[in-house]
């Protein structure tokens, strides 16, 4: 039986707008709260967001070190990868199987995998001529972007879209979908 609120650990590498959507959505939630933020980059803008929200933040010396990451995750009940660009060590994946999720800015299983992040994803979607893109939240396993899909939201691709304009529209969908999935999972694992 997990105590309420569910303790959410968020792994980040970049600016942290998805982290911010979680901080805002869980701010006074009885169900879940952002308990800690962990980054592989000391200069990640997301760390400033964590500090402003008074959430403990950790910078990993070696993201491939399972013991260090497990230590940083401590008593987390649910782990969210929000713009985290490193592969999670297998020992950590197995410890948090079914309780670790990732958000990806495309409709997996397409446009995912090693090296497929940020601008490259949207450029690949546009190059493919796809008429829609979107966002996927999935469970994390030992490979990039391959785990079981939990939820997706579709976004229309406009004829004049650039990777930046598409990325901006997808990011809006990300900020809607991620808090919703986290609250749903918190209800289920409590
Ligand atoms: C998002 O598009 C996310 O889907 C991807 O990396 C981007 C991170 O954005 N994995 P932010 O750091 O949350 O602003």
* pLDDT tens-place string over residues 104-144: 999 999 999 999 999 999 999 999 999 999 999 999 999 99
pLDDT digits (tens, 9 = 90+) for 10-52: 999 999 999 999 999 999 999 999 999 999 999 999 999 999 9
Whether the Cβ atoms of residue 5 and residue 190 lie closer than 8 Å to each other: no
Helix (H) or strand (E) holding 140: none
Distances (CA, A) of 140 to 69, 130, 133, 153, 157: 15, 26, 21, 18, 27
- Residue 76, number of CB atoms within 10 A of its CB: 20
Q: Which atom of ligand 1 is nearest to the CA of 20?
A: 13
Whether the Cβ atoms of residue 190 and residue 32 lie closer than 8 Å to each other: no
* Contact residues of ligand 1, CB 6 A cut-off: 14-19, 46, 82-83, 103-105, 117-118, 171, 174
- Find the radius of gyration of the CA atoms of the chain: 16
Residue 119 annotated to the active site: no
Q: How far apart are the first and last CA of the chain?
A: 6
Q: Which atom of ligand 1 is nearest to the CA of 174?
A: 4
Alpha-carbon gap, residue 10 to 13, rounded angstroms: 10
Alpha-carbon gap, residue 145 to 101, rounded angstroms: 10
Is the overall model pTM greater than 0.75, yes or no? yes
Residues found in the chain: 190
The two structure tokens encoding residue 157: 């691709």
């Amino acid at each position: 039986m997990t105590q309420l609120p569910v303790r959410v650990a968020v792994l980040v590498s970049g600016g942290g707008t998805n982290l911010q959507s979680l901080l805002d959505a869980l701010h006074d939630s009885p169900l879940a709260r952002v308990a800690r933020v962990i980054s592989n980059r000391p200069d990640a803008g997301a760390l400033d967001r964590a500090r402003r929200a008074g959430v403990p933040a950790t910078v990993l010396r070696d993201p491939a070190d399972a013991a260090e990451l497990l230590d940083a995750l401590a008593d987390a009940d649910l782990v969210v990868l929000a713009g985290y660009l490193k592969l999670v060590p297998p020992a950590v994946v197995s410890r948090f199987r079914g309780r670790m999720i990732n958000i990806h800015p495309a409709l997996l299983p397409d446009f995912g995998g090693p090296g497929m992040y940020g601008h490259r994803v949207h450029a690949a979607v546009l190059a493919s001529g796809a008429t829609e893109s979107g966002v996927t939240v999935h469970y994390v396993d030992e490979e990039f972007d391959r785990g079981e899909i939990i939820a997706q939201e579709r976004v229309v691709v406009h004829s004049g879209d650039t990777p930046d304009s598409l990325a901006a529209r997808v990011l809006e969908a990300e900020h809607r979908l991620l808090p919703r999935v986290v609250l749903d999972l918190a209800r289920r694992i409590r």
